Amino acid sequence: MKATEEILRVWNRFDDFPMETLTKAWLHAKGDRFKPRSVALMREHRKQYGTSGNCFDLALWLIDELRSEGIICYPVGKKLGTEHAHGAVIAMDREGKRYLCDLGDQWIQPVLVDSGAQNYTESALQGFFPGARIAVSSDGVQAKIRYIRPNGKESQAAFDLEPVGEAEFREAAAYSQSVLSRPLVERRMRICDSGRIVHWEYDRGRSRISSDRGLFAESEPHGEETWSGRISRRSGIDETVVREALSVCEAEGWV
């Protein structure tokens, strides 16, 4: 169910990239509310400020990187044009097998979604999503993903596997850029002593870590630490950018 080395080499370039909505709020403060960023500008911002972007930013960036290596890929999405939209990418290997690549949800690695492929299985698998096993059920047109948590709880998501028109996808990305949302930062992180990968999340004044051992809430900042400082330390985003973004979100009632 794992992607080819060719696809993984590109995917691994994003290992340290958080998924975050803070850049959007920061850009709103600068008057760029309705202007989605080019991939070139995303790269520039990351170099200067350590930012990355939301699911649409990451999908467009990943597509650019994949195509630069000659890998066929295309965008997919759900609920496009709404506040609940989500964007991801399908990458194809040299044999035409398709792999779901979802940086927006901070997957550890892509997963095979072609049910006719030799190695395809619908069994629960570890090592694809931090803090949960996943099980794929695909009919070739739509893939359903079950997320199975250590406590036995499950959730599910579905992805249409047919390509979204790139003009439509960019329009959805522009709409997402224009709508302020809650301050959200997610990052998969490797634990040094064990090599395990966990999922860290900040969401409106709370942070927590999901792992294969369960869900753990972090304490609130104390002493000289602030939320902007902790988020910056966990995500790698410049603290000034974080602070400005949180101020915008607070003014809009999102904090």
> What is the band of 214 on the pLDDT scale with cuts at 50, 70, 90?
confident
Q: For residue range 105-149, list pLDDT tens digits in order.
A: 999 999 999 998 989 999 999 999 998 999 999 999 999 999 999
Tell me how far apart the alpha carbons of residues 216 and 147 are, in angstroms, rounded to a whole number: 18
- Residue spans of alpha helices (H) in 16-140: 22-29, 39-49, 55-68
Whole-angstrom distance, CA of residue 135 vs CA of residue 123: 6
DSSP classification of residue 13: G
pLDDT recorded at residue 204: 85
Span 77-88, average pLDDT: 91
Contact 130, 197 (CB under 8 A): yes
| Rounded percentage of the chain residues whose pLDDT exceeds 70 | 97
What does pTM read for this prediction?
Answer: 0.94
Give the pLDDT confidence score for residue 74 in this predicted structure.
Answer: 98
Q: What is the mean pLDDT of the chain?
A: 92
pLDDT tops 90 at residue 196: no
Q: Are 104 and 93 in contact (CB under 8 A)?
A: no
**What pLDDT does 194 receive?**
63
DSSP secondary structure letters along 130-145? TTEEEEEEE-SSEEEE
pLDDT at residue 193, as a whole number: 62
